[in-house]
Homo-oligomer: A and B are copies of this chain.
């Protein structure tokens, strides 16, 4: 199959192409993840976290991918995703190299981006890439599959398009927080803020179809409502949702509040300034409205929508969410390199 034909396939049809012998190989888009996979990755992440608590366990993890090399190719700045992946690789004993800046690359000599990445792939066993152009990671996965020496590719963010491991870490945070409350199934989750332009809330909403009886609350200013395509998708997959502009009224009803900042970097002409976003801030007094076992999430970075006073509350899990991102990436890389079994048998 050539690239043009492949590109036109639906996500679900592409899925097989990102597998190898029944195991995940390339991680390109959130649509690749089904319920079985999500449960497996979450459980593996938890197991890894436990193993890492002892020195002996830490050494065991380090030995798993000793001698394997990862390349972090980050053309767009993203220190937190970068560091999270780098730490994940290091936990498994991989050696890392990095390109964080295009100006150091030989693209100046007229090379195509495909040749550049193929060259990088020659030196390593895994490519983790962030690239502004939507679909680029997918094209590289396709190209490498057709080369003599493929290596797995993980998409660490491609413009506003996909950021599949961010979605994984949100799922893992929900999974872990509701471990003793029957899991994610049946939970009520409020997504708050700039739902129109936030990539993370969109991905998370998509993945909710994998869980039974979840209800979503979209709480946003009218100008920043969740897009129709996604609502259509949820209806099709029978995920219940409702829209609201009243955060204080929604909070007491839900098990999780997912806060987001206004994404004014996507403003066309400063329209964010005309929106009263303060109505979608989590005020300190809202803590009293929140159920005792509910959680507060945020993908970070945050601004005023989530005051630092809230950090001390037991239900604020966003700092743990950051760590979860690292653990779930460890689990994902372990899965790609098929060492999950060794981890379970440890």
Select one of B84, B116, B123 contacting A123, CB under 8 A: B84
Q: Which residues of B contact A99 (CB under 8 A)?
A: 79, 83
Does A210 sit at the interface, judged by CB under 8 A? no
- CA A97 to CA B122, docked complex, whole Å: 21
A119 touches B322 (CB 8 A): yes
A120 neighbours in B (Cβ, 8 Å): 79, 83
A108 CA / B264 CA spacing, docked (Å): 11
Determine if B319 and A87 form an interchain contact, defined as CB atoms under 8 angstroms apart: no
Which of chain A's residues 213-269 have a Cβ closer than 8 Å to chain B? 261, 265
The contact string, 1 if C-beta is below 8 Å from chain B, for chain A 294-334, is 00000011110000100100000001101100100000000
Whole-angstrom CA separation of A303 from B86 in the bound complex: 33
Do the beta carbons of B59 and A83 come within 8 Å of each other?
A: no
Complex Cα gap A83–B104 (Å)? 11
The stretch of A6-14, A37-45, A62-70, A182-190 in contact with B is A62-70
Please state if B67 and A83 are interface contacts (CB–CB under 8 Å).
no
Residues of B within 8 A of A80 (CB): 106, 119
Cβ–Cβ < 8 Å partners of A104 in chain B: 77-79, 82, 100
* Alpha-carbon distance A106/B157, docked complex (angstroms): 15
A22 at the interface (CB under 8 A from B): no
- A327–B322 CA distance with the chains assembled, in angstroms: 34
- Asked if B111 and A302 sit within 8 Å, CB to CB, the answer is yes
Closest chain B residue, CB of each to CB of A80: B119
Question: How many whole Å from A275's CB to the nearest CB in chain B?
Answer: 15
Chain B residue nearest to A323 in the complex (CB): B122
Any B CB within 8 A of the CB of A279:
no
Q: What is the distance, in angstroms, from A86's C-beta to the closest C-beta of chain B?
A: 5
User: Do A303 and B97 contact each other (CB < 8 Å), given the known contacts A66-B62, A104-B77, A147-B319?
Assistant: no
Q: For residue A265, which residues in chain B have a CB less than 8 angstroms away from its CB?
A: 109
Chain B residue, CB-CB nearest to A124: B87
Q: Which of B59, B90, B302 contacts A115 (CB 8 A)?
A: B302
Contact of A59 among B67, B106, B119 (CB under 8 A): B67
The yes or no answer to A36 lying at the interface (CB within 8 A) is no
Given contacts A119-B300, A319-B149, A326-B122, whether A87 and B97 have CB atoms under 8 Å apart is yes
Q: How far is the CA of A82 from the CA of B326 in the complex (A)?
A: 25
Q: A270 near B: Cβ within 8 Å?
A: no
- In the assembled complex, A105 has its CB within 8 A of some CB on chain B: yes
A103 interface hit (Cβ, 8 Å): yes
- Cα-based distance from A115 to B299 in the complex (angstroms): 12
A295 to B111 CA separation, bound complex (whole angstroms): 22
Instruction: Enumerate chain B residues within 8 angstroms of A78, measured Cβ to Cβ.
Output: 104, 106
The answer to whether B123 and A301 touch across the interface, beta carbons within 8 angstroms, is no
Asked if B106 and A301 sit within 8 Å, CB to CB, the answer is yes
Q: Say how far A121's CB is from chain B's closest CB, in angstroms.
A: 9
Q: How far is the CA of A326 from the CA of B71 in the complex (A)?
A: 15
- Asked if residues A319 and B148 are in contact (CB atoms below 8 Å), the reply is yes
CB distance from A255 to the nearest CB of B (A): 21
What are 8 A-B pairs at a CB distance below 8 A? A55-B67, A62-B66, A79-B105, A82-B104, A116-B301, A123-B322, A123-B326, A149-B319
Given A79-B99, A114-B308, A147-B319, 7 new contacts (CB under 8 A)? A61-B67, A62-B67, A67-B91, A79-B105, A80-B119, A83-B119, A83-B123
